[in-house]
Amino acid sequence: MTPALHTERLDFLPYRPEHEDHFVALLRDEEVCRWMGQDMVPEPQLREVFRAILTDVYPTRRFDVWGLWHAGAYIGHAEVKPTGNVDGHELITALAPAYWGRGLGGETVRGLLRYAADTLGLTEAYGMVGAENTASLALCRRLGFRHVRDVVADDGSVTKMMVIPVPEGRAGAAGTAPTGDPV
């Protein structure tokens, strides 16, 4: 089962049924969708995706996925999952716009990197960032990601494939711990 994780300011909690409306609202936000490089998905389809997390993803341990909470408020979504683009794992994050610019994106990624090292034993992780998402690309550079290649979609949009080495063990990617572990 996906464990709860904690950083200095964030709680990464596995989704529960009562989180469905939060998940749907985040992924129905036009700004969030724009910067994630995805089209707006109809609400019923998002509800199906959420239910699949609970009934398929978690029970079969397909990948790890969390709701992100800050001071008791739902602020976003995070995943570590195998990527179809290369042989490896991808970090996926989405924060509600009200929480942009507060350093929480970097804290989220560092938390995911620590989990990737400590729990999954990964040596590197990937991220896919829209070429126009200058804020996320700047964050990637600050965190140590490097550009691998551009992926051009049928519509001509460009996504930057980024990779980062995953620091070894707890000392390397400080910032998150499974529930019960000291931070």
Quick check: 11 and 177 in contact, CB under 8 A? no
Quick check: 40 and 24 in contact, CB under 8 A? no
Mean per-residue pLDDT, 150-170: 88
- pLDDT tens sequence across 89-99: 999 999 999 99
* Six-digit token string for 32: 């969030």
129 CB-near residues (< 8 Å, 6+ apart): 136, 137, 140, 159, 160, 162
72 CB-near residues (< 8 Å, 6+ apart): none
Residue entry with tokens 């699949």:
52
- For the cut 90, the answer to whether the pLDDT of residue 173 exceeds it is no
CA 55 to chain centre: 20
| % of the chain surpassing 70 pLDDT | 92
Predicted TM-score of the model (pTM) = 0.88
CA distance 152 to 107: 29
Within 40-98, residue ranges assigned H as helices are: 43-52, 58-60
Round the average pLDDT of the chain to a whole number and report it.
90
CA distance 7 to 182: 10
- Which residues lie across from 161 on neighbouring strands? 128, 149
- For the cut 90, the answer to whether the pLDDT of residue 171 exceeds it is no
CA distance 164 to 170: 17
How crowded is residue 180: how many other Cβ atoms within 10 Å of its Cβ? 8
Residue entry with tokens 């989220």:
108
